Amino acid sequence: MESSVRIEQALSAAIDLAKQPGCPPRLYEAMRHAVFPAGARLRPRLCLAVALSCGETDLRIPMTAAVAIELLHCASLVHDDLPCFDDADTRRGRPSVHRAFGEALAVLTGDALIVQAFQVLARMPPTARLGSVLASVSAGVGTPWGIVAGQAWECEPTVDVAQYHRLKTGALFAAATMAGAAAAGVDPGPWRALGDGIGEAFQVADDIRDATSTAEEMGKPAGRDLALDRPSVVRELGLEGAIGRLDRLIGEVGETIPTCPGAAELHNLIRVEARRLLPAKLAQRAA
C-alpha cells in the first residue's frame, strides 16, 4: 500500500516537471490527464517488487525506473487511442486524451510522456546502474521487440499473433522486471522470462475482462475483441478454458523467477495480483 502512494507521488512529481513558465499549459494538463487518476499501476509495482526481491532496500533508483515505465505505458495508451488506431472515446472512465484535447495535442502528449520517461531516468541519483536501466527500459518500448514494434504489427499485411501480443503487451512487463533487477544492481537478462510470462498471463486476463465486463467496469469500451474481430483466448478456448489457462500461466511464472532473496514472496504477490485482474464475479473461481 505504501509503495502505491509513493508511486503516485513520484508520478505526480514527474509530470509537474512540465509545469513551468514557458511550457504550454494545455500540454501539461493533457499529460496529467493521461497519467491520472491511477490505473492499476501494475508495471511500476512489478518493477519495485523485483528490486525488493533482489535485496535492494533503497528504492530511489528503482522508483525512477518504475516511474519511467509507467509514463511509457501511459504514452502508449494515448497513441493507441488515436483515431488512426483504436479510435477510443474513453479511457479509465474519462474521455481519451484526443477527445479531451484534440488529436494534435494527443500526439504531442504521447511524445512528451515518452521523452519525460527518459528525463526522469536522467535525474536518477548518480549511479553506474543507469546504463543498464536505460537499456532495459528503452528496449521494452522501441524496436525491434518493444511495444511500439508490437503495435506496428497492426500495420503489416500478415501478422504473427503470438509475436504481436508478446511485443505489444509482454515487452513492457519484461522491461519492468528487467529494469527492477538492473536498478538493484543485478544482471537484468535472467529476469526477462518472468516479465514475458506475466505479460502472457495479463493478456489472457485482459481477454477475459473484455469478454465479460461492461464498459463501466472497464473504464473503456468493452467487447472490442469481438467487435473488431481480434484474436482472443476467450474466443479460442471459451471462458472456462481461458480461466484455466490463466491459472496455469500464473503457476508457471513461479518457475521463471531467478534465484533471489525474495523469490517466494514475489511469486505470492504475482498470484494475488493476477486474481485482482479478473472481474470480481470470476476472481473466486480463478482462486
Identified binder of a second copy from the candidate list 7, 134, 174, 179, rule CB under 8 A: 134
Tell me the C-alpha distance between 224 and 39, whole Å: 19
> Closest CB to a second copy among 5 and 104?
104
Considering only 4, 36, 82, 190, the residue that binds a second copy (CB under 8 A) is 82
The DSSP secondary structure of 186-239, one letter per residue, reads S-SGGGHHHHHHHHHHHHHHHHHHHHH--HHHHTS-SSHHHHTT---HHHHHHH
Query: Does 38 engage in binding with a second copy (CB under 8 A)?
Result: no
| Chosen residue from 19, 248, 276, 285 binding a second copy by CB under 8 A | 19
Whether omega before 83 lies within 30 degrees of 0, making that bond cis, reads no
Is 215 among the residues that bind a second copy (CB under 8 A)?
no
Residue 63 makes contact with a second copy by CB under 8 A = no
Q: Which of 36, 99, 149, 224 binds a second copy (CB under 8 A)?
A: 149
Backbone angles phi, psi at 230, to 5 degrees: -90, 155
Backbone angles phi and psi of 52, in degrees to 5 = -65, -45
Environment class of 230 (CB within 10 Å of its CB; exposed 0-12, middle 13-18, buried 19+): middle
Question: Any contact of residue 122 with a second copy (CB under 8 A)?
Answer: yes
Contact 12, 36 (CB under 8 A): yes
Our finding on whether 123 is near a second copy (CB under 8 A) is yes
- Least separation in angstroms between CB 120 and a second copy: 9
Q: Does the protein bind a second copy through residue 100 (CB under 8 A)?
A: no
135 binds a second copy (CB under 8 A): yes
Task: Tell me the closest approach of the beta carbon of residue 205 to a second copy, in angstroms.
Answer: 24
| Residue 272 interacting with a second copy (CB under 8 A) | no
Residue 75 Cα distances to 31, 39, 82, 218, angstroms: 9, 13, 11, 19
From candidates 10, 11, 18, 250, binder to a second copy by CB under 8 A: 18
List 42, 49, 65, 114, residue binding a second copy (CB under 8 A): 114
Distances (CA, A) of 80 to 34, 152, 166: 12, 11, 16
Task: Assess 163 for contact with a second copy (CB under 8 A).
Answer: yes
> Could you tell me which residues come within 8 angstroms of residue 10 by beta carbon, excluding any fewer than 6 positions away?
63, 64, 66, 67
Contacts to a second copy by CB under 8 A? 17-20, 22-28, 31, 75, 79, 82, 84-85, 101-105, 107-108, 110-112, 114-116, 118-119, 121-124, 126, 128, 130-131, 134-135, 138-139, 141-146, 148-149, 151-156, 160, 163, 167
